[in-house]
Amino acid sequence: MTVKQGFQWRGTWRSLALAGSPFMVRSSSCAANAEPAFVAKLRPLIQSAMKDWVTPGIMVLVDVPGQSTWIEGFGTSDLATKAPMAADDHHRIGSVTKTLTGEAVLLLVDEGKIGLDDQVEKYLPGVVPNGANITIRQMLDMTSGIYNGTADPDFNANIDAKPVTIWTPQEFVALALKHPPYFTPGTGFHYSNTNYELLGLIVEKQSGMALDNFMAERIFRPLGMTSTILPKADKPGMPSPHGRGYLFGTNVDGMKAYNAMIAGNAKDAIVPWAAGKPPVDATEFSTSYASASGSVISTIRDMQVWAKALAIGNLLKPETQKQRIRWSPHAPLRPRYHRFRGEVPRPQRCVFVVSSLAGIVPILRPGERIGDNQRRKTPRCGLRTAAGSPKAVFESSDVERFGWILMEV
């Protein structure tokens, strides 16, 4: 995890994904041989970003309802074989998993088995310090103050040394809860994977089902997401077909760069890496420590389906969907239930991005468009080669190996 990746949901529908060699697919709504107007803008930006971010492969899927669907691949999904990545390849979707765990919680809210304003102590007695004062809603929207376990230095050193170690949610939660909270519940915002690991345990307890089975039965099957799974912790392998996933640097280096970035220290928000040194192949690294917060595997086509369901809320009661899209006063640039990643869009535009390299895609804030981010004055994480010059810059807020991201076009 060279850096942390961020995610903004700003639309029901424009999606973009990443990896492979050039090819084009047009929907039946496109005129023969006609290329959507936005392609001329996106293609050079994508090619430039690949070069700047030292990215092996990118696949783009843009879907504009009533207009067109555009798919084009760039580069390679495998540095050894130079093979292109196909649209049906599987990818780890990283922290987009949180949207699915959030959906699982809301489905149980609709059934009366979970209350958004119930205390965590009600469901996990004795597990969370101060759990009588932390609500389900606060964990969902990252205002609980609970420490982010993936920020623990010893944890990062451990997964650097033993990247295939199998973790249980209970082990990860116990590690995180050794740390004091960031703030009094409900008084601030801090991204924490621990929130969603706890929510996953609550879903299992209240549903009587393993989280992977619950997601399959209540989300994937009803939506026809036939290529999406939450893998068992002891079966972390990628389904076929799939490309390779890469990262620069170590988890420890990435965490240092991320902490420097959020502290406003641009000088140290850099992951050091020797010039010309190939990235690490992280395809088989375990993500079991982030089961409910980052382990789902899917395809670009299934993510198209999920994007629409997430934005419209067609598995939920209307009043519950309204709760999903409320804004938090502690995170003014992000939707309420930040890691639900849901907001009714106006305009209805968004982009999916999936890549074979961790942490390559910059966040776009509300109102920004592709290409605006280079004008920011805020620090960004980057990759520094042995020669000392930044070869890639990123801005981000959560842990990804390689996966998906949404941002406004």
Q: pLDDT tens, 105-146?
A: 999 999 999 999 999 999 999 999 999 999 999 999 899 999
As a whole number of angstroms, the distance between CA 233 and CA 287 comes to: 8
Is 157 or 68 the better-scoring residue by pLDDT?
157
Q: What confidence score (pLDDT) does residue 113 get?
A: 98
Query: What residues have CB less than 8 Å from 2, skipping those under 6 apart?
Result: 247, 248, 249, 253, 254, 257, 271, 358, 359, 381, 383, 394
- Entry pTM: 0.80
- How far, CA to CA in Å, does 39 sit from each of 46, 64, 244, 360? 10, 12, 26, 20
User: Does the pLDDT value for residue 179 go beyond 50?
Assistant: yes
Judge whether residue 149 has pLDDT over 70: yes
* Mean pLDDT (the chain, rounded): 75
Higher pLDDT, 221 or 93: 221
Percent share of the chain, pLDDT over 70: 72
What pLDDT, on the 0 to 100 scale, is given for residue 331?
A: 63
For position 357, what pLDDT does the model report? 57
pLDDT of residue 77: 86
CA distance linking residue 44 with residue 388, whole number of Å: 27
| Average pLDDT estimate for 162-175 | 95
Tens of pLDDT, residue by residue over 283-338, are 889 999 999 999 999 988 888 888 888 878 899 999 999 888 776 777 644 444 44
Q: What percent of the chain has pLDDT over 90?
A: 38
In the chain, the number of structural domains is 1
Question: What pLDDT score does 266 carry?
Answer: 77
Q: Which residues touch 202 (CB under 8 Å, ≥6 apart)?
A: 105, 114, 120, 123, 124, 136
More confident residue, 278 or 331: 278
Residues 22-31, mean pLDDT to the nearest whole number: 36
Those residues whose C-beta lies under 8 Å from the C-beta of residue 319, and which sit 6 or more positions away, are none
- Show the domain range for 31: 4-407
Q: What is the CATH number of the domain that holds 302?
A: 3.40.710.10
In the structure, what pLDDT confidence band is assigned to residue 383 with cuts at 50, 70 and 90?
A: low
pLDDT of the residue at 45:
81
List, for residues 34-45, the tens digit of each pLDDT value. Answer: 788 878 888 888
Q: Mean pLDDT highest for which of 5-14, 215-224, 381-390?
A: 215-224
Q: How many CA atoms lie within 13 A of 356 on its CB side?
A: 29
Per-residue confidence band for 271, with pLDDT thresholds at 50, 70 and 90: confident
DSSP β-bridge partners for residue 60: 72
Q: Is the pLDDT of residue 354 over 90?
A: no
pLDDT higher for 148 or 332?
148
